[in-house]
Amino acid sequence: MNNLFSKIFGKESKALPGMNARFFASANCDGCGECERRCPTGHIKMVDGKPEWFKPCLLCAACATVCPENAILYGTPKEMDEYWRLVKEKTNREKDS
């Protein structure tokens, strides 16, 4: 998975190795299932009314962006900030290319 991660984020890939496995839903999650429906890889499955994350993940951020409860978190708060920074950088690179 680190190879896929490197392809997506390039040199930043060393910043948070293994970040694909660190998503979780906070207590705000109401079990709507929108994250599961929006995931382009079928990476998310609802289990007992809550999402669980499986491989492969493209780190596209669709799940975290679409969640109406802002319930999708990633790792520690610092890692979550880093995740969004990398997603923004990736989006900007794609816009420029």
- Write phi, then psi, for 44 (nearest 5 degrees): -110, 135
Site string for ligand SF4, 30-49 (x = CB under 6 A): xxxxxx--xxxx-xx-----
User: What is the per-residue binding string for ligand SF4 in 57-76, x denoting contact by CB under 6 A?
Assistant: xxxxxxx---x-x-xx----
83 makes contact with ligand SF4 (CB under 6 A): no
Paired tokens of 38: 């929006």
What's the start-to-end Cα distance of the chain, in Å? Answer: 24
Q: Rule CB under 6 A: which residues touch ligand SF4?
A: 25, 29-35, 38-41, 43-44, 51, 53, 57-63, 67, 69, 71-72
